[in-house]
């Protein structure tokens, strides 16, 4: 904390982003791929400023941009056996298609969609039957939940191991089959396909490979597609959410599912030697 206060005091003429980068370099505060964790630093320093502990440089007014509103994919009606739509592929979303992915997820997913920060990867679920490419759904994987008692107990984590290795777990935070698509076994098939490729995709993009997938299912849903794809239900969450102090109403208890990506996943998550760096996380 003293280093942060002194850096803020000495470099008042820097822009906010330059200041965040300087602090990340000095701590050092980096992701496993070596990139500075500027977004996490920004959030932390703005919390310190809100608490009156530091005073950041004034914000600069960003240039106005004419952001074109993107319509979501139209609802389509697709029914029949899975074999009718094979081959199915799960593919990373190209940069130019990300606004369409965002709009589609926001329009049709029950939880809506907010832009994630930190490590994340979007996917389309494509049907490539008879040479035609058609989108049937979408997936999002992001940083693992920060604290989940049932997960820590199942892994056998200490508090130190949880902080050290949590970045090796990634969360399937959104899973959408487009409205009107009624194809039995499509969801579990897509989960199996993404599990085969996500380690390589994550390694290419962020410089490290995850070893465990996780997700949460809110009752009355029972996670049927996850069970069919061999994900394991390890218990229920406490239902406190991301910010327990701000939570209103009754706790929302959810089922937690996990899927190991490597045979030695427990050894990698409980290794005695530290693994440098970790990615930004959110609370569960």
Q: What is the pLDDT of residue 241?
A: 57
Secondary structure of the chain: what % helix, strand, coil (to 5)?
Answer: 35, 20, 45
C-alpha–C-alpha distance, residues 122 and 208, integer Å: 17
Higher pLDDT, 152 or 25: 152
Q: Which residues, including other chains, have CB under 8 Å from residue 209's CB and lie 6 or more apart? A: 199, 200, 202, 203, 261
Q: pTM (2 decimals)?
A: 0.77
Sheet strand arrangement including 212-217? 88-92, 120-127, 134-143, 169-177, 212-217, 255-260, 232-236
Q: Alpha carbon of 117 to those of 7, 74, 85, 171: distances in Å? A: 25, 27, 34, 13
Q: How confident is the model at residue 72 (pLDDT cuts 50, 70, 90)?
A: very high
Q: What is the pLDDT of residue 12?
A: 75
**Dihedral angle of Cα 58, 63, 66, 67, to the nearest 10 degrees:** -50
């Amino acid at each position: 904390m003293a280093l942060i206060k002194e850096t803020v005091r000495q470099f008042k003429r820097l822009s906010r982003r330059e200041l965040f980068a300087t602090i990340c370099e000095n701590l050092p505060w980096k992701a496993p791929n070596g990139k500075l964790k500027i977004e996490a630093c920004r959030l932390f320093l703005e919390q310190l400023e809100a608490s009156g502990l530091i005073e950041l440089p004034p914000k600069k007014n960003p240039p106005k941009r004419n952001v074109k509103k993107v319509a979501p994919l139209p609802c389509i009606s697709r029914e029949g056996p899975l074999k009718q739509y094979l081959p199915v592929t799960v593919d990373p979303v190209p940069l130019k298609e990300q606004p369409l992915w965002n709009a589609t997820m926001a329009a049709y997913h029950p939880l809506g969609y907010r832009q994630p920060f930190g490590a994340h990867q979007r996917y389309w679920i494509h049907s490539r039957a008879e040479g035609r490419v058609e989108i049937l759904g979408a997936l999002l994987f992001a940083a693992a939940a920060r604290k989940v008692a049932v997960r820590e107990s199942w892994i056998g984590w200490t508090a130190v191991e949880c902080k050290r290795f949590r970045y090796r777990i990634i969360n399937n935070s959104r899973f959408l089959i487009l409205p009107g698509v009624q194809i039995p076994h499509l969801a579990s098939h897509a989960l199996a396909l993404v599990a085969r490729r996500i380690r390589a995709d994550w390694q290419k993009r962020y410089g490290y490979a995850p070893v465990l997938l996780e997700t949460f299912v809110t009752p009355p849903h029972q996670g049927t597609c996850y069970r069919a794809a061999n994900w394991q239900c390890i218990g229920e969450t406490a239902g406190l959410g991301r910010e327990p102090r701000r939570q209103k109403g009754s706790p929302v208890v959810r089922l937690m599912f996990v899927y190991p990506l490597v045979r030695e996943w427990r050894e990698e998550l409980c290794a005695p030697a530290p693994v440098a760096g970790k990615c930004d996380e959110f609370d569960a």
